[in-house]
């Protein structure tokens, strides 16, 4: 059996974790990893200057469509809604914490302890807006690359630190580097952050059945709510949207908090709702409707219709 994934160290580690889960179910399973350098890996521009639709997953999924691989492992937040109708998200394994974290170059100071003018590395517009809203005295500079590359670049270029997803740091065994876990309301993560998505062909029923055995129900419910919100609000990859669901299986309930940012980052629209655990997709749609009723539809149009203006504004925000 062949599993496709991106070629980064983190992607490989995530794939190894999935293989280990499968081998707990089927010890004699033999799996080979097929690594792909994607368009998103080759393009070194800041994320906001790229057309991000599918840049981290399209070439990996093409291995499935060409029957060169049996299934693929993705970071779910990189997986856009419009994958081929011949493919399906087969399962969502247990999700890691969805929080963003700050890693200080000296492993000492938290974000709120940094002096004015301190430089923070990120190329995520969502994170840039969140940092500016909470800590307007800080500077933001674009930083690209895999986790290790960003860590090295931040030290070489004398950044005060970088903001990135906790899940990747945990999976790489680098949790000791985390200086500050960021509050999920002030730094609301990207929909799907911390989760993995296992994709395979719809026709492979036996493989689908095997993959379903490593699915985590709590994580699945949360992802269903978050992706339902994203689809209902019509926010593409360019729109800085934060969304995080929290499922409570024993209480049979699920909540969803979301925020979307205007083109200049000065306005944010927020919504939070709760529903029964069996209605995650309905919850996502209702939160999307609340955001839209508060003006999010104008915000998404701003982002979709002003690409050159976007880049000019964001270049001012992120040096």
Catalytic residues: 77-78, 126-127, 144, 150, 237
Q: Where are the beta strands (DSSP E) in the chain?
A: 2-6, 32-36, 71-75, 87-91, 100-104, 119-121, 139-141, 161-165, 180-181, 196-201, 241-248, 253-261, 268-276
Q: CB neighbours of 41 closer than 8 A, spacing ≥ 6? A: 6, 7, 8, 56
CB 36 within 8 A of CB 63: yes
Distance CA 315, CA 23 (A): 47
Distance CA 306, CA 188 (A): 24
β-pair type (119-121, 196-201): unpaired
β-pair type (253-261, 161-165): unpaired
Both tokens of 63, joined, read: 């291995």
Distance CA 161, CA 150 (A): 10
């Amino acid at each position: 059996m062949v599993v496709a994934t991106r070629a980064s160290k983190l992607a490989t580690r995530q794939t190894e974790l999935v293989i280990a889960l499968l081998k707990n179910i089927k010890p004699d399973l033999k799996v080979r990893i097929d690594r792909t350098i994607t368009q998103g890996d080759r393009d070194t521009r800041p994320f906001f200057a790229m057309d991000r639709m599918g840049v981290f997953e399209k070439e990996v999924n093409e291995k499935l469509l060409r029957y060169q691989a049996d299934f693929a492992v993705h970071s779910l937040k990189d997986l856009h809604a419009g994958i081929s109708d011949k493919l399906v998200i087969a399962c969502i394994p247990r999700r890691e914490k969805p929080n963003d974290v700050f890693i200080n170059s000296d492993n000492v100071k938290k974000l709120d302890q940094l002096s004015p003018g301190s430089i923070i590395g990120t190329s995520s517009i969502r994170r840039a807006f969140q940092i500016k809203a909470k800590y307007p005295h800080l500077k933001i500079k674009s930083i690209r690359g895999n986790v290790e590359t960003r860590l090295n670049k931040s030290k070489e270029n004398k950044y005060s630190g970088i903001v990135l997803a906790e899940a990747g740091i945990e999976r790489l065994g680098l949790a000791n580097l985390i200086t500050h876990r960021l509050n999920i309301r002030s730094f609301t993560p990207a929909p799907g952050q911390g989760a993995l998505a296992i994709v395979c062909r719809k026709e492979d029923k036996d493989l689908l059945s095997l993959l379903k055995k490593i699915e985590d129900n709590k994580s699945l419910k949360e992802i269903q709510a978050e992706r339902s919100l994203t689809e209902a609000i019509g926010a593409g990859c360019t729109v800085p949207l934060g969304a995080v669901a929290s499922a409570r299986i024993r209480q049979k309930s699920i909540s969803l908090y979301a925020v979307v940012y205007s083109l200049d980052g000065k306005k944010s629209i927020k919504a939070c709702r709760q529903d029964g655990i069996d209605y995650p997709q309905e919850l996502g749609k209702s939160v999307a409707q609340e955001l839209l009723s508060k003006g999010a539809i104008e915000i998404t149009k701003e982002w979709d219709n002003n690409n050159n203006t976007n880049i000019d504004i964001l270049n001012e925000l992120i040096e």
